[in-house]
Chains A and B, each alone.
Chain A
């Protein structure tokens, strides 16, 4: 009985394996840089604390030095005086790096349509995942980290060459829904108030 090589050895090409390995490592050990400027920062802290526990997804190592981080979470409104600071912190982060825009204010300015408040940080730095909400619940932030992990797994390369193609200003793009995104909790959520039987 002859034993074929394919049965016992995983045959693959080196580059996809290296990409897969890098993405596996990067996605499961995101180190967030908490750029918390407003009330979203409180929800960010709650996400990091024991009840919601961002450590379950490997992103618990929050560092306050941009040199040690690879995920910037902009939580809160950014005013024009803060924009150069934000850009500088973004540039100081080492590659590969990603950015989550957390909350309505960071994503669009929210209710603060005034002379000083920037209407969306994606005008000035690249954003990977947007989180709606005012402020978003910790579950939403955790979902955004899961989405970012999925994005890293799907598009990441070991050399980071996918970043070089992003040369223009980007807005939010639609993502393909996975089966797990379509699972809904049972119940009627068509109204906010409960319908009591008479």
Chain B
């Protein structure tokens, strides 16, 4: 459960009807549109003391029952002073998979956003160094998308064999 003062200060920042909330197992989620995302995060950091970005991750809702949007991007925030946690969620659809980077607010967003870009192909505008972080740079697919086959498209075996006579 999140206190009402946080939601009120968020309403002041964004305007009253700009976000919705939901609850799941004592976790509060704030769902905003992508264009209000950066302002939400900024407000939560500066006004409500969420000084730590715990995680940035994404979900592909392709073929998910009752899902309206393709991708969800989730920011997990933590107030290190009182231990409050909050999840900010936004939904994206192809072809416009660009959202503002949270790097100006939290430096820790750098590698986490690179990982989301690497796995889902979601681009973060204003990120200082948006390269792949886990997969090799010549990799072209985004492997955690649901339309990517589990065993890949043969990239893992696309290397020359070195025989014993050659080496």
Q: Which of B143, B157, B160, B167 has a CB less than 8 Å from the CB of A126? A: B167
Judge if B135 is at the interface, Cβ distance under 8 Å: yes
- Is B159 within 8 A of A169, CB to CB? no
Q: Which of A79, A81, A126 has a CB less than 8 Å from the CB of B163? A: A126
**B 126-167 contacts with A by CB, 8 A:** 135-136, 143, 148-153, 155-167
Closest residue of chain B to A118, judged by CB?
B156
Number of interface residues of B (CB under 8 A): 22
Q: Which residues of B contact A117 (CB under 8 A)?
A: 156
Q: Which residues of A contact B159 (CB under 8 A)?
A: 80, 83-84, 87, 123-124
- Given the known inter-chain contacts A115-B149, A115-B151, please indicate yes or no for A87 contacting B162, CB distance below 8 A: yes
Main DSSP-derived SS at the B contact region: loop
Q: Which residues of A contact B152 (CB under 8 A)?
A: 114-116
Q: Which of A90, A115, A118, A166 has a CB less than 8 Å from the CB of B143? A: A115
- Given the known inter-chain contacts A87-B162, A115-B143, A169-B161, please indicate yes or no for A125 contacting B167, CB distance below 8 A: yes
Judge if A173 is at the interface, Cβ distance under 8 Å: no
Q: How far is the CA of A87 from the CA of B159 in the complex (A)?
A: 10
Q: Which residues of A contact B143 (CB under 8 A)?
A: 115-116
Judge if A146 is at the interface, Cβ distance under 8 Å: no
- Counting from the closest, the 6 A-B pairs by CB-CB distance are A115-B152, A166-B164, A126-B164, A80-B156, A167-B165, A81-B136
- The 26 sampled A-B contact pairs (Cβ below 8 Å) are A79-B156, A80-B156, A90-B167, A91-B167, A114-B150, A115-B148, A115-B151, A115-B153, A116-B135, A116-B143, A116-B156, A117-B156, A119-B156, A123-B157, A124-B160, A124-B161, A126-B162, A126-B164, A163-B164, A163-B165, A164-B165, A166-B163, A167-B164, A168-B163, A169-B161, A169-B163
